């Protein structure tokens, strides 16, 4: 055996465990899920191929329609809010302010705590009786009634979005802050010499400097938010009457009713859109890695 061959064999052996485990635990189940979504499998039986029946059945269900609409709403609204809040706070912390390190640490706390803890806490905050939010509103005199934030249709969705923005904005904040720190100071000075005002400097120097990071962050955050389970499960379980039903929760309910084929079809429905987001994100992340 030549040295070169031995080296190559060594390289393959090092990478093999991870590749095999990923093939077995991610790639195979992924393909299996697609197959199952075309069968009438229930727990304890092998399913029959039934073509698109599951998908047709789902498309006629009102709950499924609600799940599509709610998932899109949560993703879009919380992306916009997280971008606004994350960018705003990153710009503030990026200034030469005494104490900014402390602010940065504090603003990261929601990211550092477990997601399930965050959403359980928000559930307690949203309680109509004894919940922190109603208490604050009452004691500051802003509102004197009792609002059942998670229990009524008008407020449930906004409440879920606020909690998930609270938990999710630090990721945007820190990513954008790191990007801001890579923009060379000279560019700002050059723009100032050219007579650009603060607003023009923001558009011609800051925005191009952080654009790449914002795009990747948006893609990743959309993928994660569309597939998040905890926020809805721990706050509302999809209720009241499907007002906050989202894809993953619906798939979980399908699993509980033992109709696996149908449950898998719920997840597979997301695949086209999700696939595009994942492929875009992968390409951008690989490109950034190569640089």
Partner 1 sequence: MSNIARAALPDTASIARTRARNRRLLGRIFSYLALGLAALLVLFPIYWMIITSLKLPREIFRLPSLWPKVFTGDNFAKLLSDGGFVLAIRNSFIVSATVTIISVILSSFAAYSMVRFRYRFRGLIGRLILFAYLTPGSLLFIPLSIVMAQLKLGNSLVGLVLVYLTFSLPLSTWLLQGYFRGVPRELEEQGLIDGLTRMGALIRIVLPLSAPGIAAVAIFTFTGAWNELLFALVLVTSESQRTAPLALSYLITSDVLPWGPLMAGAVISSVPLMILYFVAQRFMVAGMTEGSVKG
- Binding to partner 1 (CB under 8 A) within 124-143 occurs at 124-125, 127, 129-132, 135-136, 139
The CA-based diameter of the chain, rounded to the nearest angstrom, is 83
Q: Compute CA distances 211 → 198, 215, 291, whole Å.
A: 18, 6, 16
Contacts to partner 1 from residues 261-280, by CB under 8 A: 263-264, 267-268, 270-271, 274, 278
- For residue 130 the two structure tokens come to 């004894």
Given the rule CB under 8 A, which of 57-65, 74-82, 204-212, 283-291 is the region that contacts partner 1? 283-291
By CB under 8 A, residue 83 contacts partner 1: no
By CB under 8 A, residue 251 contacts partner 1: yes
Is the link from the previous residue into 240 a cis peptide, with omega within 30 of 0?
A: yes
> Closest Cα partner for 41 from 260, 221, 266, 285?
260
Which backbone phi and psi does 193 adopt, to 5 degrees? -60, -40
3-state secondary structure of 236: coil
Instruction: Closer to partner 1 by CB, 69 or 123: give it.
Output: 123
Of 74, 220, 243, 245, the one binding partner 1 (CB under 8 A) is 220
Of 38, 64, 149, 166, the one binding partner 1 (CB under 8 A) is 166
Tracing tokens 């799940």 back to the chain, one arrives at: 67
Smallest separation (angstroms) from partner 1 to the CB of 220: 5
Instruction: Closer to partner 1 by CB, 161 or 260: give it.
Output: 260
By CB under 8 A, residue 45 contacts partner 1: no
By CB under 8 A, residue 260 contacts partner 1: yes
Task: Return the axis-axis angle of helices 100-107 and 62-94, rounded to nearest 10°.
Answer: 170
Contacts to partner 1 from residues 174-213, by CB under 8 A: 174-175, 177-178
Q: How many helices (H) and strands (E) does the chain have?
A: 16, 0
Query: DSSP class of residue 228?
Result: -
By CB under 8 A, residue 116 contacts partner 1: yes
Which backbone phi and psi does 39 adopt, to 5 degrees? -125, 170
Contacts to partner 1 from residues 13-32, by CB under 8 A: 14-15, 17-19, 21-23, 25-30, 32
Of 72, 80, 113, 190, the one binding partner 1 (CB under 8 A) is 113
């Amino acid at each position: 055996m030549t040295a070169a061959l031995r080296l190559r064999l060594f390289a393959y052996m090092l990478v093999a465990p991870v590749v095999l485990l990923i093939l077995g635990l991610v790639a195979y189940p992924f393909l299996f899920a697609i197959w199952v979504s075309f069968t009438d499998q229930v727990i304890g039986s092998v399913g029959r191929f039934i073509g698109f029946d599951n998908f047709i059945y789902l498309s006629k269900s009102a709950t499924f329609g609600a799940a599509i609409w709610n998932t899109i709403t949560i993703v879009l609204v919380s992306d916009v809010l997280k971008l606004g809040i994350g960018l705003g706070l990153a710009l503030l912390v990026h200034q030469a302010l005494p104490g900014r390190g402390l602010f940065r640490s504090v603003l990261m706390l929601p990211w550092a705590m477990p997601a399930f803890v965050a959403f359980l806490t928000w559930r307690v905050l949203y309680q109509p009786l004894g919940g922190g939010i109603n208490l604050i509103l009452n004691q500051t005199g802003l509102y004197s009634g009792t609002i059942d934030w998670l229990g009524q249709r008008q407020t449930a969705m906004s409440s879920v979005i606020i909690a998930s923005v609270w938990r999710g904005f630090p990721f945007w904040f820190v990513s954008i802050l790191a990007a801001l720190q890579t923009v060379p100071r000279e560019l700002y000075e050059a723009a100032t010499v050219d007579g650009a005002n603060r607003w023009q400097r923001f558009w011609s120097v800051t925005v191009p400097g952080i654009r790449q990071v914002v795009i990747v962050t948006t893609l990743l955050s959309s993928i994660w938010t569309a597939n998040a389970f905890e926020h809805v499960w721990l706050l509302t379980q999809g209720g009241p009457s499907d007002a906050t039903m989202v894809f993953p929760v619906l798939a979980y309910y399908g699993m509980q009713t033992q109709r696996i084929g149908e449950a898998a079809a719920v997840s597979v429905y997301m695949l086209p859109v999700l696939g595009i987001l994942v492929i875009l994100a992968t390409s951008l992340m690989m490109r950034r890695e190569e640089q």
